[in-house]
Structure 1
Amino acid sequence: MEKNTTKHIKFRELAESRTNKAIDAIARIGNLSNRQVYDFDEAEVRKVIKALRDAVSSVEARFDAPKSRAERSFKL
């Protein structure tokens, strides 16, 4: 039981730290919306948003089925 408690504490520490870093990084991406500083088109914005949504979907899938790892390489 001690080992599970230690694992849970470690999970909470890392989850809080990594989630806060991700939130900060997303906020910095949001700063790119300032048209006085940056020039971009809607297609570029859609690509950024899609990449973020895809990353979140991938994380959700890993928690739904943690035993199955997402393929990271191409195979025939």
Structure 2
Amino acid sequence: MSTEKEKSERFKRVAEGRTNKIIDQIRLLGNCANKSNYEYSEEDIRKIFSAIENELRLTKAKYQSKQKNKKFEL
């Protein structure tokens, strides 16, 4: 079985790598803002960032929601 320290170290290693990959991909997406190479509408940009923001909200909620099996109460 994994100890708490091992789990923490594994989380840090995995989360750090994945976070850096996401940051790199966001920077690459930023390269698409160059109007001399690409053509896009404000609606295109709205859809892109709406999708990103929505996914970020959903992922953040996974870390904040610790009461998944809470019983119903009136």
Q: What is the TM-score when the length of structure 2 is the normalising length?
A: 0.84
RMSD after superposition: 1.4
Which residue in 2 is equivalent to 1:29? 29
Cα distance in 1 for partners of 2:66, 2:26 equals 25
1:63 is aligned to: 63
Separation in 2, partners of 1:6, 1:40: 46
The percent identity for this pair of structures is 30
- Give, in whole Å, the separation in 1 of the partners of 2:22 and 2:66: 20
Larger Rg: 2
Instruction: State yes or no: 1:7 paired with 2:7.
Output: yes
**Structure 2 unaligned residues grouped into runs of 5+:** 69-74
> Relative to structure 1, is the Cα distance of residues 67 and 17 closer, same or farther in structure 2, using a 3 angstrom cutoff?
farther
How many residues are treated as equivalent by the alignment?
Answer: 67
1:45-64 deviations in whole A, cap 9, x for unaligned?
00001011011101110001
Counterpart residue number, 2:71:
none
Identify the residue that residue 18 of structure 2 maps to in structure 1.
18
Tell me which stretches of 4 or more aligned residues in structure 1 moved more than 4 Å: none
Return the TM-score normalized by structure 1. 0.82
1:66 is displaced (CA, Å) by 4.9
Structure 1: unaligned runs, 5 residues or longer = 69-76
